[in-house]
A and B are shown apart, each in its own frame.
Chain A
Amino acid sequence: MSSQITFSDEQTMLLDTATEFCRKHSPIETVRARLDADQIDATTWKEITDLGWLGINVPEEFGGLGLGLSCVVPVAESMGRYLMGTPYNGAITASECLATSGSREQKEEWLPKIVSGAIGAMALIETNGSWILDQIEAQAIASEDMFELSGTKCFVTDADAADFYIVSVNVEAKARLALVKREQIPEGNLHREIVIDETRRSYQLDLDGIMVPVDQLLEGSDFQAIEFASLLLLSAEITGGLVGSIHTIVEYLNTRRAFDKVIGSYQALKHPTVKILLDLEASRSHLYHAATVLADDNAGEAEIALRMAKAHGSAAFAFAGDRAVQFHGGFGFTYECDAQLYLRRALWCQYQFGDEAYHRQLLEPILLD
């Protein structure tokens, strides 16, 4: 295994720009104000589109920058740091999925649209909560030149704002991917879900009654590419979230007084905070290593690096959120305290695309046998 981490000039520039952008657009008051928003923040989405961030990973021939997913990481990390809620990660995963599984025509039709702001949403997970992406219940039955879909998808983020969906369905007992356009979804098939992270706008999508032309079935079915992109983006979001939670903890520990002392002087609070810091440093290292090997097209090493990044990050962020609440004492028990925002974000990230136990289990045969 290599221990290489490369960080290009483009990544450096994107990290600077994105940190500044998210700091400006997503102060904690804005995060809170948007918790029960009905719609996505269209103004910010337009700015993100204008900055070209939706085309970072899209090949140049389809109107993108062709910089690969590794250059998306600094953007996703910055959004995580400021708890920003946008359809960005879903849209990037959708474009990555089209780039890896779409036919030439499908790419030509959709990738340029995504670059100019069309929102794609991933509809993969079902009510049983399984993380195994190609073991699903949803069906697509062919009748003449149409597919009739059935089943239920959950955790479809920003589904109300999406222009299209990538839906996993069984076609003749094999898991495939179908693109469904917004207008192909009957009225009443989308239901907002109550989820733990209130910065997410998550929906259930009922597939029953949806008809799509057969040419909307994606040519390939590269579920691994979807999983890799999702793990990378979630790990980036986790790393950013860890940075944000440490700042929140340290600020409180440096101001709150108890028993005549600033509470940060108590080792019972100081030492776990240092553990969170060191967990962050490890998570960030795993993350950018994963980005490096993914960019090198080394699928074997990428799988190890991504699962390690997600496993380590999931546990670390959940611990940080948990401690952030505890360290705020009585205030931590209130909705008003920001610690709960990080804890909720951490739990969402932990349980999307596999928690630490799941990824460690998948690493076992690779690393031990």
Chain B
Amino acid sequence: MKTLRTGFHLMLVCLSLLGTTHITFAKETQHDKPTNATGKVASPLVVIPEALQYCTVCHGTQFKGDFATGAPNLTGLPDWYLTKQLTAFKNKSRGAHANDLSGHEMRAAAESLDDATILLAVDTITRIPYIDSMPTTHWQRLAFKAAQDDVKHTNKESQTLTPSINNGKKLYATCAACHGNQAEGNPALKAPPLTGLNRWYMAKQLLHFKQGIRGNQSNDPASMQMKAAASILKSNQDIVDVVTYINALNQQELP
């Protein structure tokens, strides 16, 4: 992640030199508690164009994500993937499934965006340095309860599972074929980087792929491929394990 972050800083500096960035506001006071329940504070803040202020209502300050609205962290995602997903939402190839409740909201938002605004959004988000947001302790509950609610409001209480990194590593071997050994992603295969994604969001999306809520549109073969791949995850335990492994990659806790 370090390289990614440096990359962004570098880009930010370059853009500043070119004079194309909006003026950013340097905060005088540094937060001495960088990680809390909502994650690290991005400093300096990037000014969000007015046309995109709808986005940060749900996606949070600097697009760092907000589990309470169900909006994921978008910082650190590459431009091609952001463009693909925004377009997918706009074209109803994502967020159209009857059980994808938060997807419905994003689709409604994306439908109102014209191509220029999508470009502006992607440009703005990729100018924001990666924010390592929210190491929430109850990410499993967030992921599974939200996904269950999406399906049938079943409200079945999900217990917290103890993750097995080893099992996660074993499972990830299949994922690595497309997403890369370090989950760095592969644009040629339309496989996004997974490092830096919120655990609750990854787990929820894996469930959605498994349940066919995502990856059911024939005009999006990469997504259909992901749906097929998600079938290797046989249980919530498998999901928890692989998400924990990917998250550990991000934290550079693994060799």
Query: Are A and B associated in one complex?
Result: no
